[in-house]
Structure 1
């Protein structure tokens, strides 16, 4: 004889707790969300070719100018910078300021969009309802963004360097093994994830589309110009702690004389600036999202 037991009271509503979301699943979710934004395709599809194009145009202009110079005099002694071939730095053609400042804005904007986009659409409420562990969600978002931007930065840096130096191969173009070349390519590749993390931190703080983009431009490009003077040491030291200033120090050709800088930033200090900004930006993004209401 089979008997049945009726269930009533608290047992009727008892449910098995949902398993905790694995970090791998959060990474997959953030990857899907990043590429579900149409702005991601537009910005990443049009921005990198523009950056590479500016650098390539610089190389072509210099190659054409040097091709029409009169016959060169004997090679100058080391350290002497006279002569038509020494009027420009071949390495610098791959790292033209306007091009890489554009990349900084692109990377910072994509990072900001990845955060404030969820707030403006209300998707952030769904995200935190499904995964209450806000720190884990934001850590996954930071990881995906840093990885994507690192690949983007590496592609742009390697392509810019390779194409520009191929154009200048008959005009003392440099190879990746020459002094400062590998460092410049690495610094330019890392500039993209750095700026993306800064954009994420600003997007988490501002949580508004226009305000976040303005903040990205202000922090990454305007602040270095405000603290670029050498009148006071403390002003210059603040400027030296900016990502743009650190990038300038890392892409300089060590074989060239750029004049005397009263308060220069060393290569080691520049790398520290890169690491510190990336770490602080990631921590700010995670902490702000965890503490503030949606």
Structure 2
């Protein structure tokens, strides 16, 4: 007597999660809006900077601007991170809110492969999304700065690193959102927790008085991202009569930044898997 193996293949789970992801109209709208807002902010900033340089009679105005950092503004990519976090979170708490999660786990009792399939699908989609936004922001802003002959190419020192780091920010924040969604399982609570964890919490660990405080802040997602997009080759000139710009006593090194990215991604996946597999729907 033979038995039929009814366990779902992982590729079937991937296909199911892909269909779930794109069956929501909100997915298209949120991703499109997030991309337009992010690129719109950096583009508008670049146009304003170019206009300011053109009107200025001081040569320091041109050299004080770092075109690379200006292509990856904090405000723009903080919005990108929250958008990505929201998309990741809704793939988890959305099923709990609708009750679909019970059907899913009835069809596939092995919960861990279901969650891992979600992780793969969300990470893949958000990586492409992040790469498109990052590359577009860099390309458009540098084309604008080229009008004043200060634009950078992708081969400039640190440029590829900045584009790659900004592209990886989207899937990383999406994984954080999945972990928060799996733990909290409530839309409003998850979004509030995401904003607090990604944006507000790092602000509590700033300053140079105590190194251990700053090191905690350096282990957060956005401080690590800022280290990746910072143009270390660009030096802000000192202005006569004004103090020299301060130097961070405890900066995030590039190696530390990549480690922070990897650690947060792994931790988010572990939390998401553990929360779903060890708790009832």
TM-score scaled to structure 2, two decimals?
0.93
Within the alignment, does 1:200 sit opposite 2:187 as a pair? no
3-state SS of paired residue (1:147): helix
3-state SS of paired residue (1:260): coil
1:116 to 1:71, Cα distance in 2 relative to 1, 3 A: closer
3-state SS of paired residue (1:176): coil
Aligned to 2:145, which of 168, 171, 194? 168
Q: Could you tell me whether the CA contact under 8 Å between 1:158 and 1:185 is conserved in 2?
A: yes
Aligned to 2:169, which of 191, 197, 201? 191
**Structure 1 partner of 2:83:** 106
1:15 to 1:289, Cα distance in 2 relative to 1, 3 A: farther
Once the two structures are superposed, residues 140-182 of structure 1 have per-residue CA deviations (whole angstroms, 9 ceiling, x without a partner) of: 0000000000000000000000000001113211111111111
Shift of 1:267: 0.5
Higher Rg of the two aligned structures: 1
Total equivalences in the alignment? 271
**Counterparts of 1:284 and 1:58, CA distance in 2:** 38
Within the alignment, does 1:276 sit opposite 2:263 as a pair? yes
Shift of 1:20: 1.2
Gap runs ≥5 in structure 1: 1-13, 73-82
**Counterparts of 1:29 and 1:220, CA distance in 2:** 30
Aligned to 2:44, which of 43, 57, 66? 57
**Counterparts of 1:168 and 1:263, CA distance in 2:** 31
> What RMSD over aligned residues (CA atoms) do the two structures have, in Å?
1.5
Moved over 6 A (4+): none
What pairs up with 1:40-51 in 2 under 5 angstroms?
A: 40-51=27-38
**Structure 2 partner of 1:212:** 190
Q: Could you tell me whether the CA contact under 8 Å between 1:108 and 1:195 is conserved in 2?
A: yes
Once the two structures are superposed, residues 83-131 of structure 1 have per-residue CA deviations (whole angstroms, 9 ceiling, x without a partner) of: 2211211112210111000001000011111100000100000000000
Within the alignment, does 1:91 sit opposite 2:68 as a pair? yes
**Counterparts of 2:58 and 2:74, CA distance in 1:** 30
**Counterparts of 1:245 and 1:53, CA distance in 2:** 23
3-state SS of paired residue (1:168): helix
**Structure 1 partner of 2:102:** 125
TM-score scaled to structure 1, two decimals?
0.89
Once the two structures are superposed, residues 191-229 of structure 1 have per-residue CA deviations (whole angstroms, 9 ceiling, x without a partner) of: 000000000000000000100011111111111111122
Shift of 1:16: 5.3
Q: Could you tell me whether the CA contact under 8 Å between 1:56 and 1:93 is conserved in 2?
A: no
Once the two structures are superposed, residues 59-83 of structure 1 have per-residue CA deviations (whole angstroms, 9 ceiling, x without a partner) of: 10111111222385xxxxxxxxxx2
**Structure 2 partner of 1:5:** none
3-state SS of paired residue (1:278): helix
